[in-house]
Structure 1
Amino acid sequence: MTARHTFALALAAAAFAPSFAFASDDAPAKPTAHAAPADNLGQARAQIAARQWGPALDELRRVNDTGSADWNNLMGFVLRKGKTPDLAGSEKYYDAALRIDPHHRNTLEYSGELCLMKGDLAKAQARLAALTSECGASCEQTGELKAAIDRYKAAGNKYVSTSW
């Protein structure tokens, strides 16, 4: 089974298991330590899975669970992935998620990708080091961020987006 097929299955499962958060741009969801209640973020996750950034942002704002690392992570993700990325806003929410849960693997990965978008390789590498310390070199989030850093370097220190 390819990563894309696995991802599609994970997206379908997300509607029934909303304690999952998106693990990477191309990979299936992984459970997080501080997942929000099932009815809290499920609709936003479904909209994110469908790449409906505006409705996802509206839903996240409606939920307004500012004390949740998952909620802040998803806010950062949606703001980063939108048609017109809001990098400063995305960073604000990723930073909030990491204040709540400094070990939030998805946020460490995604904020590392944000650093690359902003041209901050050193900070992206620091996020990679934190992920490696948190979950090892074989951790999915570690692999995804390492691959993003490798693409960045291969492109002459320019961010290269994935297809997701």
Structure 2
Amino acid sequence: MVRFHKILLTGAALSLALSGAAFAAGGGGGGGGGGMDMPSASGPTYDPAEEYAKGVAALNAEKYKEAEKAFARVVTAAPKSAEAWRLLGVANLRQDDAKGAKRAYEKAVKLEPEDIAARTGLGVSLARLKDDKAQEQLAWLKAKSDACAGTCGDAAALKSGLSAVESAAASPSAALSTPLLFAQAGDRAYLQAVGLINEKRYDDALASLGQAREAFGPHPDILTYQGYAWRKKGAFDRAEAYYQQALTIAPQHRGATEYYGELKVERGDMDGARVMLARLDRACAYGCAEAEELRRWIDAGGEPAR
């Protein structure tokens, strides 16, 4: 069963729990008794999750310049955060900066090619620029909509996306709606994801984690759980990418370090696993559950018997 660091609060308070002080221990894989360690001094001067929360609040308050600045800081610290690039695009579009929006949405689509909202935003941006490439996004949305035939979970998003791009093509000044984002929704999605992982429902867990990232951005706890779920699905390369993102943001994140070490054991990279264990031993002066679990994996040469 995946371990869960119990620092979660409800509503807006969660955006604070899922930032700064939570990074070192982490919800993704333990936490060693609930301690609130300080972030690594080698980390960024600001944390992406906190900046993301500022950006979301600014978008909700229709303060688009503030939102743009916040999301620009997020993508500087976490350049693989597709949701931050997408919301940067929203902030740019709301300021009638179609060129800036196009660049941001292109980054989002490159990172998440199946993201309907990113495809929609890119299509609208291109249409506002009177760029014929808007038709490519329209064609993508239409193909998805036809395949869905109004029966899939994305039916409403596809219909809305098609309408938005078509409206922008007909009238480049047409507005793109900005949905409000709430911490409570991310809170519920995060908690739900933990339960789904414990039930080994990894596809459903990944969907919930995606919703949590929509609310909280590139938080290392969420990234670590995404890595864990992909690893359990056998997608080791994708899992590694998420662990690396988590550790880039929070170098001393114990959950990500442990799970990355376990992944290395599963790949037969015992030297790499020992490097991860050494990091945990340095971070846990008095020992911690993550170090002991990874040590058991290394000693067993794989997942130890329970």
Query: Is TM > 0.5 for Structure 1 vs Structure 2?
Result: yes
Amino acid at match of 2:242: Y
Residue equivalent to 2:226? 75
Question: Are the structure 2 counterparts of residues 104 and 14 from structure 1 closer, same or farther at C-alpha, using a change threshold of 3 Å?
Answer: closer
1:31 positional shift: 6.3
State the secondary structure of the residue aligned to 2:192.
helix
Q: TM-score, normalised by structure 2?
A: 0.41
Residue equivalent to 2:294? 145
Residues in 2 aligned to 1:16 and 1:66: alpha-carbon distance in whole angstroms? 17
1:140 positional shift: 0.7
Contact 1:115 1:121 in 2 (8 A): yes
State the secondary structure of the residue aligned to 1:21.
coil
Residue equivalent to 2:303? 161
Mark the runs of 5 or more structure 2 residues left unpaired by the alignment: 18-25, 40-48, 50-182
Question: Are the structure 2 counterparts of residues 86 and 51 from structure 1 closer, same or farther at C-alpha, using a change threshold of 3 Å?
Answer: same
Equivalent position to 2:29, from 23, 26, 48: 23
Residue equivalent to 1:125? 274
Residue equivalent to 1:44? 193
- 1:27-106 maps to which residues of 2 (within 5 A)? 38-64=187-213, 65-82=216-233, 85-106=234-255
Q: Which has the larger radius of gyration?
A: 2
Contact 1:136 1:142 in 2 (8 A): no
Residues 1:113 and 2:119 are matched in the alignment: no
User: How far does the alpha carbon of each residue in 1:60-83 deviate from its partner, in whole angstroms, 9 at most, with x for none?
Assistant: 12333542000110000000112x
Residues in 1 aligned to 2:195 and 2:303: alpha-carbon distance in whole angstroms? 22
Question: Are the structure 2 counterparts of residues 21 and 29 from structure 1 closer, same or farther at C-alpha, using a change threshold of 3 Å?
Answer: farther
Does 1 or 2 have the higher relative contact order (CA < 8 Å, sep 6+)?
2
Residues in 1 aligned to 2:287 and 2:204: alpha-carbon distance in whole angstroms? 34
User: How far does the alpha carbon of each residue in 1:114-135 deviate from its partner, in whole angstroms, 9 at most, with x for none?
Assistant: 0111111111100000000001
State the secondary structure of the residue aligned to 1:67.
coil
Residue equivalent to 1:155? none
- 1:4-15 maps to which residues of 2 (within 5 A)? none
User: How far does the alpha carbon of each residue in 1:46-67 deviate from its partner, in whole angstroms, 9 at most, with x for none?
Assistant: 1112211110011112333542
Residues in 1 aligned to 2:244 and 2:189: alpha-carbon distance in whole angstroms? 21
Amino acid at match of 2:285: G
Amino acid at match of 1:111: Y
Residues in 1 aligned to 2:304 and 2:211: alpha-carbon distance in whole angstroms? 29
Q: TM-score, normalised by structure 1?
A: 0.72
Contact 1:15 1:45 in 2 (8 A): no
Amino acid at match of 2:27: A
User: How far does the alpha carbon of each residue in 1:15-60 deviate from its partner, in whole angstroms, 9 at most, with x for none?
Assistant: 9889672536xx9985676899744511111111221111001111
- Identity over aligned residues, as a percent? 26
| Aligned residues: CA RMSD | 3.4
Amino acid at match of 2:303: S
Question: Are the structure 2 counterparts of residues 28 and 98 from structure 1 closer, same or farther at C-alpha, using a change threshold of 3 Å?
Answer: closer
Residues in 2 aligned to 1:59 and 1:43: alpha-carbon distance in whole angstroms? 7
Mark the runs of 5 or more structure 1 residues left unpaired by the alignment: 1-6, 153-159
